[in-house]
Structure 1
Amino acid sequence: MSREARDWVWDHSSAKNTARLVMLSIAERVGDEQYVSWASLSSLAARTKASVSTVREAILHLIRSGELERLDDLVGPKGSTVFRMPLAAKAAATTDEGGEGGEGESTLEAIPPLRLSALRRFKIRPRGVPELPVGDRESAVPEPGRSRRKPAPRHAGFRHSDVPETGTQNRSEPDVNRKYSSGAAVLPASEWTVDPATHTWVRQQGHLDRLGEQGLQAADAKWRAHRAALRPRPASAWAADWRSWVAREHPATSAAARGNATAPAGMTRAEAHTAALLAALDEPAGTER
């Protein structure tokens, strides 16, 4: 019956865009003349390449239009939602009675009642009733369009439970963030802030006394400029890298970076600038990882 259900969508449904794709996906799982189907939001999102929220809105639109009905008192395989195509079911019943195939009264009272016993073979059952025993599942009719090959082992193959709640809206938004899978939150160097533990480390190691407050700020600014082009890292990695940079920072370089125009005792301004340039040779090159 899935073919008849799809034909009805192509010929009679007024749904457009994502709603039409959702309707066709639901029609693919119609098993008999009752036009009852089942699907989960995640599977519909994967089939239509839309987000879960978009699929949910499309279903609400189809329900309001009368082309789709959600049977909340029934449940499908693995707890999936059960739907019915009432207008298609009424059109099929009218045709069987010798009518014009859906060109009749448009009220839903003409829809034939459900026969729950016939839905058992599609693993559709009343909510609260357990699924068929394992021994009875082999006699159930397979999902329309599915292969009769031996099923794959559990936890194998593709799964659609990882579809994000908001989903993808355009091609610039990745389906799943697979670039960093370590579990720790990552951020660019520009967004990392010096944490209290690092503040304590700076004072205990004497770097604040060695560089001064302005020198430490200048070292921080240079570190961020050198790390701006690097990929995001966890905050702990940036903290370790920042400490290593500060530990190698030269006091004379810091004095020149913060604009200290006063030359050390016994040195002219030109000699002070020369000393600062020579000290810069000992600075980190910015290629550390």
Structure 2
Amino acid sequence: MSVQATTWVWEHSQAEGTARLVLLAVADAANREGERAWVSAKTISKMCRIGHRTAQRKIAELIDSGELEKMGSRGEKHATVYRLPGVRENQPVRQDDVAPVRQDDVRQNGVYAKSDTPLRQMEPAATPPMAHTPINPSSSKELHPINNAHAHETVGERKRPAPGRVHYSPAFEQFWEAYPRKEGKLDAYNAWRSASHFNNASHLIAAAGRYRDNPNRDPRYTKTPTRWLNTRGWEDG
């Protein structure tokens, strides 16, 4: 599952109804970066509980709308490689991906300089604060690059609520309390949002309780809540 891909669908996709559900199924199968997914129409139809032809038709509609691209076939159980172009478009360019501007790339009076010093090192230093000017402690996190929480984050990380500021829904908290394994709460919440959008929350909570109380469940092999939700564990009884 890619948090970046599913978050993009929830917040940016213009697809509606069954097409939106199909796009969520593709996003659920996307790789870690959220750009590509390997999934068959048969799997999509099973995940969305729709007919195979309906799944194919909705995939075609998404491709026509530009929210999905078909890259080719992987050959494994007729799986197709899809690309979610919108995910990449909404990712900012990382500093590591940008080569520093060198001074020898800058023309000065018609002549190129021959220094190996990056241009940003040639910029004048910032004016130091005036003496005896107190620094507001509350602003120190914004001034210090190490403490700046947004300095190098990716799109997926920025979409996630900051630690300590997550407000989980009451229904999810009930599910979390009922589920036998407490691991990856934030990822589980994202999976919960997707599952509860198309399923009754009380049904999911009750199913989690049955899974917890199943005498045949081995604690060593208990699924994480995220995996249980993504694999539709509530359908197992």
TM-score grouping bracket, smaller chain normalisation: 0.3 to 0.5
TM-score normalised over the length of structure 2:
0.39
TM-score normalised over the length of structure 1:
0.32
Q: Highest Rg: 1 or 2?
A: 1
